[in-house]
Amino acid sequence: MLNLRTLNSEFMTFLEFEQPVAELFEQLEQARSLAESSKVDMTNAIKELENKIDTTRKAIYSDLSPWQRVQVSRHPDRPYTLAYINFMTDGNFIEMHGDRTVGDDKAMVGGLGCMDGKAVMFIGQQKGVNTKMRQYRKFGMPNPEGYRKALRLMKLAEKFDIPVVTFIDTPGAYPGLEAEERGQGEAIARNLYEMTKLRVPVVCVIIGEGASGGALGIGIGDKVLMLENTWYSVISPESCSSILWRSWEYKERASTSLKLTAQDMLKNKLIDGIIPEPSGGAHTNYHEVFSTVKAELKKHLDKLTKMKPEKRIEKRIEKFSGMGAFIEE
């Protein structure tokens, strides 16, 4: 079945590898216009095109390259953190602001919400939905005060025994001079240290880009999950390409070499699970992806809540301490 959001190609953005789907959507629009203007019964033709779109899209998305997954994770129509939170809380979300030192970082959002009657502290990077909002949100790149705000909210959640859920979607921490002057590295490092010791359940979900320390600053959890078409790496493919080959032209090769996809991360035991997306990516069916993520969060939080805090902390530290270990043959 086609999602209603995808029925008008005028409002859709197609990636380069999605051109076969784009052409079919164009044919579908023409068939509908013809049916409306000429009153000719085009029901069978329209249904056939809809099925063809569904089949073609599934075929394309069943065999995406790492670089194509990076492109999907950056799709302009992809839902961002606040969209997930508002769905999961039915709009019952109270956003909290400021780090109590410098100010309020608009690239990092957080606050309390009720998910099916249970209080949860939600935290995540927020990108803008248009040019003006992207500038306002600094393209989802937090300053030190953003990470300190996140830590303040985590400590508040710990005080009242409320589980923490973080949504990760950032091209990296803000790289400006002012960020370094205010201690960007220290703020992220402090979060890593404090998150390992939080006495409440922590579940982290990568919903888009997971770049470097900017992602890791809210990424230490009992469970770390990735949506199917997201990436998680110490560096973006473009930056890796520019360092190794002095050009961005090798970004596809860099994407493969970095092993940054959800599938690679799970294989290397760096995450705990992959959340499937609708055929065509999360942007094609908001309700489906929101519902799937919510179900996964509830499942993991229910299990983690039953564990003693000391046991959760022990397993959390053990998990992250074991990353990178290898046996030399």
Residue 81: what pLDDT?
97
d(C-alpha 149, C-alpha 110), whole Å: 8
> Could you list the residue range(s) of the whole structural domain that residue 46 is in?
14-63
Q: How many CB atoms lie within 10 A of CB 290?
A: 18
Q: Say yes or no: 28 and 51 in one domain.
A: yes
Residue 85: what pLDDT?
97
Q: Which residues contact 119 (CB under 8 A, 6 or more apart)?
A: 112, 113, 160, 162
Q: Say yes or no: 38 and 184 in one domain.
A: no
Task: Inform me whether the pLDDT recorded for 144 exceeds 90.
Answer: yes
Q: Say yes or no: 77 and 186 in one domain.
A: yes
Q: Is the residue at 86 inside a domain?
A: yes
Q: Say yes or no: 135 and 256 in one domain.
A: yes
d(C-alpha 18, C-alpha 260), whole Å: 21
Tell me which residue of 298, 128, 291, 271 sits closest to 206, measured CA to CA. 271
Q: Is the residue at 9 inside a domain?
A: no
Residue 283: what pLDDT?
94
Q: Is the residue at 144 inside a domain?
A: yes
Residue 11: what pLDDT?
64
Share of the chain above pLDDT 90, in %: 88
Of residues 229 and 13, more confidently modeled: 229
Q: Say yes or no: 77 and 59 in one domain.
A: no
Q: Is the residue at 280 inside a domain?
A: yes
Q: Say yes or no: 188 and 224 in one domain.
A: yes
Q: Say yes or no: 112 and 46 in one domain.
A: no
Residue 40: what pLDDT?
82
206 by DSSP, 3-state: which?
A: strand
Q: How many domains does the chain have?
A: 2
pTM, entire model? 0.92
Task: Inform me whether the pLDDT recorded for 132 exceeds 90.
Answer: yes
Q: Is the residue at 5 inside a domain?
A: no
d(C-alpha 328, C-alpha 242), whole Å: 31
Q: Say yes or no: 170 and 32 in one domain.
A: no
pLDDT single digits (tens) 33-87: 888 888 788 889 899 999 999 999 999 999 999 999 999 999 999 999 999 999 9
Residue pair 232/263 in contact by the 8 Å Cβ criterion: no
Q: Is the residue at 6 inside a domain?
A: no
Q: Is the residue at 4 inside a domain?
A: no
CATH number at residue 317: 3.90.226.10
Residue 36: what pLDDT?
84
Q: Cα-flanking dihedrals φ and ψ of residue 232, to 5°? A: -145, 115
